[in-house]
């Protein structure tokens, strides 16, 4: 069964791909057998798009799809949306801004719920990304929820990380400096037609200066107005330039180690659920409750 499903995915069957993603997402019995059969893929490049809420990441992603399709590239898009607190499904699953691409033969789009993940990504994002790579797309675009510094985990998954901000992000940039400043391979100042955009870009360059030691090349800063399609071709060029740069082997090894760590961590924790912990806490005598002693019962 799994071998047949994998062959269908490799032959471009998007229905088989969508079905397989659901199997992994819902941890259906035997899904790990499919993962064990995945072939190595050094062709597909992963582009991560992250940044604070309201920066225009979805519009940016929509425009980037258009630029890559113009170049006759095949693109898969994984949009990680906030979860509904009631059914854990993706709140923004309809992705209205990208509806023009849903029937395009060169584009595959899937919305995933973050399911409470603090990193702005789906808890099975590594496995799902590796599966999508088996379909031999030229690019996979990952768009995060936008939840602050914890978005940094996208750097462990993407070949190129694009951080999207807006001119009004001045104070917010300061709080993000220790995290997003260091993971950005390309900075995008979206909605750059707004007042003080040039001054913001200048300040951003000054704030990035101490972080240059974390990169082999200077971090590109691209001004865009994604809703009008302005600056998107320059953004695409900056991304492709970064992707073609010589990757540091040490960094690549650390990225792979990070993914392996996440997989092991998830496997060790799979028999423990927050719901079970809540029920156990309810049944515990709170007058003698010790947090460490309570946690110790799980390991």
Q: What is the pLDDT of residues 214-239, one digit of tens each?
A: 555 678 999 999 989 999 999 999 99
Same-domain pairing of 9 and 77? no
Q: Taking a C-beta distance cutoff of 8 angstroms, is the pair 217, 243 a contact?
A: no
Q: What is the mean pLDDT of residues 23-44?
A: 88
In a domain, 50, yes or no: yes
In a domain, 262, yes or no: no
- E strand or H helix that includes residue 79: strand 75-81
Same-domain pairing of 103 and 235? yes
Same-domain pairing of 149 and 209? yes
Q: Name the domain count of the chain.
A: 2
In a domain, 203, yes or no: yes
Most confident of 23-27, 166-170, 181-185: 23-27
Hunting for tokens 């940039």 — which residue is that? 173
In a domain, 163, yes or no: yes
Q: What is the mean pLDDT of residues 194-220?
A: 75
Same-domain pairing of 57 and 131? yes
Q: Taking a C-beta distance cutoff of 8 angstroms, is the pair 116, 20 a contact?
A: no
Structure tokens at 265: 């961590």
Hunting for tokens 């699953």 — which residue is that? 93
Same-domain pairing of 153 and 13? no
pLDDT for the residue 196: 84
Structure tokens at 63: 């425009």
Same-domain pairing of 3 and 123? no
Q: Is it the case that residue 3 has pLDDT exceeding 60?
A: yes
* Adjacency order of strands within the sheet including 75-81: 107-113, 75-81, 139-143, 45-50, 160-165, 186-189, 220-223
Phi-psi region of 165 (alpha: psi -120 to 50; beta: other; left: phi over 0): beta
Confidence band, pLDDT 50/70/90 cuts, at residue 206 = confident
pLDDT for the residue 286: 78
Domain end among 230, 247, 264: 247
In a domain, 240, yes or no: yes
In a domain, 202, yes or no: yes
Q: Taking a C-beta distance cutoff of 8 angstroms, is the pair 60, 165 a contact?
A: no
Residue 38 is classified by DSSP as: P
pLDDT higher at 286 or 272: 272
Mean residue pLDDT of the chain comes to: 81
pLDDT for the residue 150: 46
Same-domain pairing of 45 and 35? no
Same-domain pairing of 240 and 107? yes
Measured CA to CA, the distance from residue 239 to residue 220 in angstroms comes to 9
Q: Which residues pair with 48 in a beta bridge?
A: 142, 161
For residue 68, what is the domain's CATH number? Answer: 3.40.50.300
Buried (b) or exposed (e) across 66-96, using 16+ Cβ within 10 A?
Answer: bbbbeeebbbbbbbbbbbeeeeeebeeeebe
Phi-psi region of 117 (alpha: psi -120 to 50; beta: other; left: phi over 0): beta
Measured CA to CA, the distance from residue 256 to residue 129 in angstroms comes to 13
Give percent of the chain above pLDDT 90: 31
Domain carrying residue 190: 41-247
Same-domain pairing of 10 and 122? no
In a domain, 137, yes or no: yes
How far CA 165 is from CA of 69, 113, 271, 291, in Å, comes to: 24, 23, 39, 39
How far CA 222 is from CA of 113, 160, 278, in Å, comes to: 29, 14, 46
Q: What is the mean pLDDT of residues 17-46?
A: 90
Structure tokens at 247: 């990757």
pLDDT higher at 68 or 171: 68
In a domain, 261, yes or no: no
pLDDT tens, residue by residue, 234-243: 999 999 998 8
Same-domain pairing of 31 and 157? no
Sign (positive/negative) of CA torsion 84, 87, 89, 91?
A: negative
pLDDT for the residue 266: 80
Same-domain pairing of 72 and 189? yes
Same-domain pairing of 101 and 217? yes
Q: Is it the case that residue 169 has pLDDT exceeding 80?
A: no
Q: Is it the case that residue 264 has pLDDT exceeding 70?
A: yes
């Amino acid at each position: 069964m799994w071998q047949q499903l994998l062959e269908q995915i490799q032959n471009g069957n998007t229905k088989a791909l969508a079905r397989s993603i659901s199997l992994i997402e819902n941890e259906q019995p035997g899904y790990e057998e499919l993962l064990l059969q995945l072939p190595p893929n050094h062709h597909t490049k992963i582009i991560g798009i992250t940044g604070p809420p309201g920066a225009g990441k979805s519009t940016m992603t929509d425009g980037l799809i258009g630029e890559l399709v113009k170049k006759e590239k095949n693109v898969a898009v994984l949009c990680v949306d906030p979860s509904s607190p009631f059914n854990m499904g993706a709140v923004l699953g309809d992705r209205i801004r990208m509806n023009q691409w849903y029937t395009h033969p060169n584009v595959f789009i899937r919305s995933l719920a973050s399911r409470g993940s603090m990193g702005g990504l789906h808890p099975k994002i590594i496995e799902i990304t590796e599966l999508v790579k088996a379909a031999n797309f030229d690019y996979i675009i990952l768009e995060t929820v936008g939840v602050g510094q914890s978005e940094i985990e996208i750097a462990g998954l993407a070949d190129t990380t694009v951080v999207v901000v807006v001119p009004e992000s001045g104070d917010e940039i300061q709080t993000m400096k220790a995290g997003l400043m260091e993971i950005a391979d390309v900075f995008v100042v979206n909605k750059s037609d707004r007042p003080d955009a040039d001054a913001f870009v200048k300040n951003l360059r000054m704030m990035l200066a101490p972080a240059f030691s974390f990169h082999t090349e200077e971090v590109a800063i691209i001004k865009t107005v994604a809703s009008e399609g302005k600056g998107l071709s320059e953004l695409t060029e900056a991304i492709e330039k970064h992707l073609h740069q010589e990757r540091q082997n040490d960094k690549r090894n650390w990225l792979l180690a990070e993914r392996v760590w996440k997989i092991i961590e998830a496997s060790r924790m799979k028999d423990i659920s927050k719901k079970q912990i809540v029920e156990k806490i309810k049944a515990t005598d709170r007058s003698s409750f010790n947090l460490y002693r309570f946690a110790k019962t799980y390991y």
